[in-house]
């Protein structure tokens, strides 16, 4: 039993890299990258401060880093993840908190995984870092769709998959021109004058 | 029952600190400090300075050792480094190269 599974105990702190070919159970702290070919379980009290790579990742604790599962990533109740999640199958249970880009599907666990959709969606997911150019009202000269997804991402606390969806929808429909807004404003002013 | 197990096939490069028991069957490079018992099993490779309450070595250890209670080098152990503990035993068949300091 002990030979098949490695355990980072509750009060144990590992600073550095953990690699190997067996299963790993994290009850304590790992301030470093985990890359094993077996399963990785981060318990409710477990905390990992860097990326985690494994066959099947089960998270009930906290991870600040990317999760890359060859088979699956399961984020259970109580999981707190800040980072990107990639696996053929990703399960996020109610009560799990995620901030980052999530991508499911075949080939995500493989090293060569730069698909076109990923390349297109990534800027939207990372747009929250960049300041949105001329935030709320685009000038009539430049009704580009690009600022709109940035606003959605900055405002929304939801999953990034939804954000990228918003971005595509906004790109198809450019924001309404300024003219109607001016008409409305004029109408309001007129009404006020009438009163 | 050990709380932290570095299993066979696992490599830790870095620093491990813990208040619990540690069993190493795999590889540790860097530093290993525990407050309770540390066991380095047969087949394990530790290239690190080790501190602990007590230490049992049956595998390969390269590094300096400080234990609060005792250090036992079992048969088949291969230790290169200085050992500092109140009680030190070296079993017949253990390989050892280094200084022993028993707080005399």
pLDDT higher than 80, residue A166: no
A30 CB within 8 Å of a chain B CB: no
B44-80: per-residue pLDDT in tens? 999 999 999 999 999 999 999 999 999 999 999 999 9
Q: What is the pLDDT of residue A172?
A: 57
Least confident residue range of A88-97, A148-157, A184-193, B68-77? A148-157
Mutation site, A3, A9, A22, interface B, largest B CB count within 10 A:
A9
Average of per-residue pLDDT across A116-136: 40
Of A129 and B10, which is predicted with more confidence? B10
B81 conformational bin, left if phi > 0, alpha if psi -120 to 50, beta if neither: left
- Please check whether residue B48 is in contact with residue B55, taking contact to mean a CB–CB distance below 8 angstroms: no
CB-CB: which of A16, A18, A27 is closest to B10?
Answer: A18
Q: What is the pLDDT of residue A192?
A: 52
Q: Are B3 and A12 in contact (CB < 8 Å)?
A: yes
Q: Are B10 and A4 in contact (CB < 8 Å)?
A: no
User: Dihedrals φ, ψ of A67, to 5°?
Assistant: -110, 125
CB-CB: which of A3, A14, A27 is closest to B8?
Answer: A3
Average of per-residue pLDDT across A75-104: 91
Q: Are B22 and A5 in contact (CB < 8 Å)?
A: no
In 3D space, the residue among A25, A30, A16, A11 whose CA is nearest the CA of residue A54 turns out to be A25
Tell me the chain B residues in contact with residue A53 when contact means C-beta distances shorter than 8 Å.
Answer: none
Q: What is the pLDDT of residue A193?
A: 52
A183 CB within 8 Å of a chain B CB: no
Cα–Cα dist A3/B5, whole Å: 9
pLDDT higher than 80, residue A170: no
Domain layout of chain B by residue ranges: 4-101
CB-CB: which of B2, B10, B22 is closest to A20?
Answer: B10
Q: What is the pLDDT of residue A1?
A: 43
B7 CB within 8 Å of a chain A CB: yes
Cα–Cα dist B94/A144, whole Å: 75
Least confident residue range of A162-171, B9-18, B46-55, B56-65? A162-171
Tell me the chain A residues in contact with residue B21 when contact means C-beta distances shorter than 8 Å.
Answer: 9
CB-CB: which of A6, A13, A16 is closest to B26?
Answer: A6
Cα–Cα dist A121/A118, whole Å: 5
CB-CB: which of B10, B14, B15 is closest to A6?
Answer: B10
Q: How confident is the model at residue A173 (pLDDT cuts 50, 70, 90)?
A: low
A&B contacts, CB < 8 Å: 90
- Please check whether residue B46 is in contact with residue B30, taking contact to mean a CB–CB distance below 8 angstroms: no
- To the nearest 10°, report the CA torsion of A5, A10, A16, A21: 10
Q: What is the pLDDT of residue A108?
A: 53
As a whole number, the mean pLDDT across chain B is 92
A1 CB within 8 Å of a chain B CB: no
Q: What is the pLDDT of residue A137?
A: 43
pLDDT higher than 90, residue B39: yes
Cα–Cα dist B30/B21, whole Å: 18
CA distance to partner chain A, nearest, from residue B77 (Å): 19
**Counts of helices then strands in chain B (DSSP H, E):** 0, 13
pLDDT higher than 90, residue A162: no
Mutation site, B9, B22, B32, B38, interface A, largest A CB count within 10 A:
B9
Q: What is the pLDDT of residue A156?
A: 38
Count CB atoms within 10 A of the CB of residue B39.
21
Residue A49, SS3 per DSSP: coil
Q: How confident is the model at residue A176 (pLDDT cuts 50, 70, 90)?
A: low
Mutation site, B1, B2, B6, interface A, largest A CB count within 10 A:
B6
Stated pTM of the model: 0.64
Contacts of A67 by beta carbon, 8 Å cutoff, 6+ apart:
A51, A52, A57, A59, A73, A81, A83, A84, A85, A86, A87
Contacts of A51 by beta carbon, 8 Å cutoff, 6+ apart:
A33, A34, A35, A65, A66, A67, A68, A83
Q: What is the pLDDT of residue A121?
A: 40
pLDDT more than 90, % of chain A = 46
Q: What is the pLDDT of residue A174?
A: 57
Average of per-residue pLDDT across A6-11: 92
């Amino acid at each position: 039993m002990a030979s098949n599974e490695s355990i980072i105990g509750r009060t144990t702190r590992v600073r550095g890299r953990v690699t190997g070919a067996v299963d790993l159970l994290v009850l304590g702290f790992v301030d470093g990258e985990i890359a094993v070919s077996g399963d990785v379980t981060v318990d409710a009290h477990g905390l990992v401060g860097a990326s985690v790579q494994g066959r099947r990742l089960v998270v009930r604790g906290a991870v600040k880093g990317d999760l890359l599962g060859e088979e699956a990533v399961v984020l259970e109740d109580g999981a707190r993840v800040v980072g990107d999640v990639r696996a053929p199958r990703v399960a996020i249970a109610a009560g799990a908190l995620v901030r980052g880009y999530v991508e499911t599907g075949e080939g995500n666990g493989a090293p060569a995984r730069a698909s076109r959709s990923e390349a297109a969606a990534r800027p939207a997911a990372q747009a929250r870092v960049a300041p949105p150019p001329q935030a709320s009202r685009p000038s009539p000269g430049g009704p580009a769709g690009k600022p709109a997804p940035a606003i959605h991402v900055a405002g929304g606390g939801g999953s990034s998959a939804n954000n990228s969806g918003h971005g595509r929808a906004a790109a198809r429909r450019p924001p309404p021109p300024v003219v109607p807004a001016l008409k409305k404003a004029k109408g309001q002013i007129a009404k006020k004058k009438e009163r | 029952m050990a709380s932290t197990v570095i299993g066979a096939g696992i490599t830790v490069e870095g620093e491990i600190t813990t208040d619990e028991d540690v069993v190493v069957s795999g590889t540790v490079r860097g530093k290993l400090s525990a407050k309770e018992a540390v066991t380095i099993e047969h087949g394990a490779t530790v290239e690190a300075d080790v501190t602990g309450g007590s230490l049992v070595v049956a595998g390969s250890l390269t590094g300096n050792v400080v234990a609060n209670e005792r250090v036992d080098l079992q048969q088949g152990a291969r230790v290169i480094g200085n050992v500092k503990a109140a009680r030190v035993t070296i079993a017949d068949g253990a390989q050892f190269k280094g200084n022993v300091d028993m707080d005399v």
